[in-house]
Amino acid sequence: MKITNTESARASDDRQSEILRFIKEKSTASIAEMATQFSVSEMTVRRALHKLADAGLVIRTPGGAMTAPSGSMERSFLERSAKMSSAKDAIGREAARLVQTGETVVLDSGTTTLYVARHLSAQRDLVVVTTSLAVLEELAGSPGIQVKLTGGVYRRSSHDLSGPAMLNALGDVYADKVFFGAAALSFHKGVMNYDAEMPRAFLRSARERVLVIDSSKIGVEAVYRLCPVKKCDLVIVDQGVKSADLARLRKLTNVLVAG
Predicted local distance difference test score (pLDDT) of residue 73: 44
Which of 48, 68, 88 is the C-terminal boundary of a domain? 68
Q: For the residues of 9-48, what is the DSSP string, one character each?
A: HHHHHHHHHHHHHHHHHHSEEEHHHHHHHHT--HHHHHHH
Does 41 share its domain with 155?
no
Predicted local distance difference test score (pLDDT) of residue 140: 87
Predicted local distance difference test score (pLDDT) of residue 234: 98
Predicted local distance difference test score (pLDDT) of residue 58: 80
Predicted local distance difference test score (pLDDT) of residue 7: 52
Does 195 share its domain with 117?
yes
* 73 occurs within a structural domain: no
Q: Which three-class secondary structure state does DSSP give residue 80?
A: helix
- Contact yes or no for 236/259 (Cβ under 8 A): no
* 220 occurs within a structural domain: yes
Q: CATH no. for residue 91?
A: 3.40.50.1360
Q: How many domains is the chain partitioned into structurally?
A: 2
Q: CATH no. for residue 33?
A: 1.10.10.10
Does 54 share its domain with 84?
no
Predicted local distance difference test score (pLDDT) of residue 161: 92
Non-local CB neighbours of 155 within 8 Å, separated by 6+ positions:
161, 162, 197
Rounded CA gap, 102 and 123, in Å? 9
Does 158 share its domain with 190?
yes
- Contact yes or no for 228/234 (Cβ under 8 A): no
One-letter amino acid of 91: I
Does 93 share its domain with 153?
yes
Does 129 share its domain with 247?
yes
Does 131 share its domain with 227?
yes
β-pairing, 104-107 vs 64-67, is unpaired
Q: Per-residue pLDDT for the chain (259 aa), expressed as one digit of tens each? A: 444 544 555 666 778 889 998 998 888 889 999 999 999 999 999 888 888 877 667 877 767 888 765 544 444 666 666 678 889 999 999 999 999 999 999 999 988 999 999 999 989 999 999 999 989 988 988 999 999 999 999 887 788 999 999 999 999 999 999 999 999 999 999 999 887 766 788 999 999 999 999 999 999 998 899 999 999 999 999 999 999 999 999 999 999 999 8
* 74 occurs within a structural domain: no
What angle do helix axes 85-97 and 111-120 make, rounded to 10 degrees?
A: 50
Q: Which three-class secondary structure state does DSSP give residue 76?
A: helix
* 215 occurs within a structural domain: yes
Does 202 share its domain with 166?
yes
| Containing structural domain, residue 18 | 5-68
Does 96 share its domain with 49?
no
Does 54 share its domain with 90?
no
Predicted local distance difference test score (pLDDT) of residue 59: 79
